[in-house]
């Protein structure tokens, strides 16, 4: 004799699904430090992406293309993860200003930007290959540089050595003294990762920093 299932019997609640792993597709220590503010556990992988601008490519388009390419490159290797990619390009009158890499280029960049408004185009992309999610956003930060003397430029660069920063200035450090004004609706965008937009994209992808009160950064 077989037991007849009781249709009125309460169903067992479904087991809660574990959140997808989070990966930052970047080797930037600035982006890593910023993402830690969300207190989500994450890993870091370097994206293998050619960052050469395309002929005639506008700074905003370059930043968005590279942010998405970085996220997609890492997502191909980790399809179950939610992957963040980001890129920043300084836009000086339509010209793309990247990382100087050395002292001489940094001097040349700051001389060009002296007394001018530079728009730092900071793009972020969030991709999950398994779910098919792929979204991106762009934060444009308008930065007004003071009129800078050669002595000020030299003293600043020798002190802070911001050769790995687009535009040769760290606004979170002594570089703030180079500036007259900053206009942004996403304050951390100038440092390298717009956390307001990043949080929005992560929620859309199914990962909410406030859903796990005990979350801790990697």
CATH at residue 191: 3.90.950.10
CA–CA dist 196, 184 (Å, integer)? 11
Is 146 a member of any domain? yes
Structure tokens at 94: 């339509």
Residue 85 resides in a domain: yes
Find where tokens 């920093």 sit. Answer: 209
Q: Considering 3, 87, 164, 185, which one is annotated as catalytic? A: 87
Q: Is 91 a catalytic residue?
A: no
| pLDDT at residue 13, rounded to an integer | 55
Task: Give residue 217's pLDDT band: very low, low, confident or very high (50, 70, 90).
Answer: very low
Domain that holds residue 140: 22-205
Q: Whole-model pTM?
A: 0.85
Query: How many domains does the chain contain in total?
Result: 1
Residue 19 binned pLDDT confidence (cut-offs 50, 70, 90): confident
Compute the distance between CA of residue 76 and CA of residue 130 in angstroms, rounded to an integer.
9
Q: Render pLDDT for 92-117 as a digit per residue (tens, 0 to 9).
A: 999 998 889 999 999 999 999 999 99
Q: Is residue 7 part of a domain?
A: no
């Amino acid at each position: 004799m077989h037991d007849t299932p009781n249709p009125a019997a309460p169903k067992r609640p479904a087991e809660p699904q574990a959140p997808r792993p989070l990966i930052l597709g970047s080797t930037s220590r600035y982006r890593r430090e910023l993402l830690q503010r969300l207190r989500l556990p994450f890993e870091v992988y370097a994206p293998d992406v050619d960052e050469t601008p395309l002929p005639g490519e506008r700074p905003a388009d370059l930043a968005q293309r590279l942010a998405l390419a970085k996220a997609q490159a890492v997502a191909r290797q980790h399809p179950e993860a939610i992957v963040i990619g980001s890129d920043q390009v300084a836009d000086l009158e339509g010209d793309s200003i990247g990382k100087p890499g050395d002292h001489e280029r940094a001097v040349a960049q700051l001389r060009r930007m002296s007394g001018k408004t530079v728009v730092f185009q900071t793009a972020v992309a969030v991709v999950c290959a398994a779910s098919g999610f792929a979204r991106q956003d762009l934060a444009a930060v308008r930065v007004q540089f003071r009129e800078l003397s050669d002595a000020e430029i030299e003293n600043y660069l020798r002190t802070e050595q911001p050769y790995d920063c687009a535009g040769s200035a760290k606004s979170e450090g002594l570089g703030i003294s180079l500036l007259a004004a900053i206009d942004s609706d996403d304050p951390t965008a100038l440092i390298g990762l717009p956390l307001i937009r990043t949080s929005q994209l992560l929620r859309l992808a199914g990962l909410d920093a406030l859903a796990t009160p005990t979350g801790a950064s990697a």
